[in-house]
Amino acid sequence: MTHLPQEIIRRKRDGGVLAAEDIHSFIEGLTSGRVSEGQAASFAMAVFFRGLSIPERVALTQAMTQSGEVLKWNLPGPVLDKHSTGGVGDTISLALAPAVAACGGYVPMISGRGLGHTGGTLDKLDSIPGYVSQPDIETFRRVTAEIGCAIIGQTADLAPADKRLYSIRDVTATVESIDLITASILSKKLAAGLQGLVMDVKFGSGAFMDNAADARALAESLVLVANGAGLPTSALLTDMNEPLASAAGNAVEVRYIADYLTGRRREPRFHEVNVELCAEMLVLGRLASGIADARARIEDAISSGKAAEIFQRMVVALGGPADLLDHPGQHLKAAPVIRPVHAERPGTVQTIATRDVGVAVVALGGGRTRPQDPVDHAVGLTDLAGIGETVDRERPLGIVHARSEEAAEAAARHLRAAYGVGVGDGAVEPGAIVLERIGASA
């Protein structure tokens, strides 16, 4: 049977349900070039307005997964991963992968670069001198097997249909479709050959989904579709109404992780999210008897220094310095201008426009608005105040790391505008950091 692209588009445009073979044929054509860019754009717009049922989402995810290489693993433990929908100060991956590996899991994490106001794990890794963030597949396999985790960038061989469809969605105002977001995220994870996945779905002023209802809808879609495609998956809804870590940038976030893993500094908010996500992964991988047991195992992996040891071994295996955790300042680039940013008046932090904090980092040169933009790994923000904290002449809103005085002053203006500081309004309690679990241990 011939599956004409225009007929598939017409059926979806008119609200029909597509058969799995129609979807597979369309995606195969997208990969081979038989389906034109215009047809792909029309398909994306039809899906944007008409939506896909769960079986259609599963079929689309599987078709995009099978458009390229699908990794297979032969390891003595479960192959697990985590994916975050993005935010500010979200450097969890660098702490999570070695912690799960310390508990017997294997974490082949394929990460992305930052775009817009959100930071990218790959950009953070690129701030480590010598670290090869995009090795060949065989090196990726070897490091994962020997160390227990490897964090790298996406290769061209995995889910190429997703790469092509995303570039079309990006210029046709169809990025926001939950159906297409679901297939895009999960196709890459399925191609990585995972046996368990935990989704960190953010909501709030620094997330792509600014309210919990939209984030819940995305989380439910991801869990249903992933499980329907044969990948055991659960999701956590986590708060992004303030930066997750008190550092936002690239080298500054790697330094933050060095302090976190070695115990020099562990902020409760960041630690809670890391432990909860790690614990969920252990439950999915059957490495713990339940969520309480999983939490205890992760806490021990971090406090004992095992996670730090594994992280350091991973860095060395991928070309980085052997003493990065002990002496991060000797290896990570520092910005020439470092100075505090004070609030216009003392008071209590009531609100944070977290997206604007991320925009301040981008304006400093620490992020990009186009994929080809260069990134300055040294710049960023540190010691960011959180909701409920008192800021005054002793306690600044944060510290800016900039390339010039002019850039520092511009970032200071961004930061002051992002913070809502109240005077005499009483104490403010931050909201729950983990709002809800969907699937698995829920």
- Catalytic site positions: 81-84, 121, 169, 184, 188-189
User: Which residue, chain included where needed, has tokens 């469809």?
Assistant: 165
Q: Which residues lie closer than 8 Å to 23 by C-beta, 6 or more apart?
A: 8, 56, 59, 60, 63
Which residues face 382 on adjacent strands?
399
DSSP string, 31-54: HHT-S-HHHHHHHHHHHHHH---H
* Element (DSSP H or E) covering residue 280: helix 268-284
> Which alpha helices (H) appear in 111-205, and where do they start and end?
121-126, 137-147, 160-170, 178-191
Spell 344-378 as b/e; 16+ CB within 10 A means b: eeebbbeebbbbbbbbbbbbbbbbbeeeeeebbbb
Q: Which of 250, 216, 193, 194 is nearest to 85 (CA)?
A: 216
> Which alpha helices (H) appear in 34-177, and where do they start and end?
37-50, 54-65, 92-102, 121-126, 137-147, 160-170
Which residues face 203 on adjacent strands?
239
Contact 359, 414 (CB under 8 A): yes
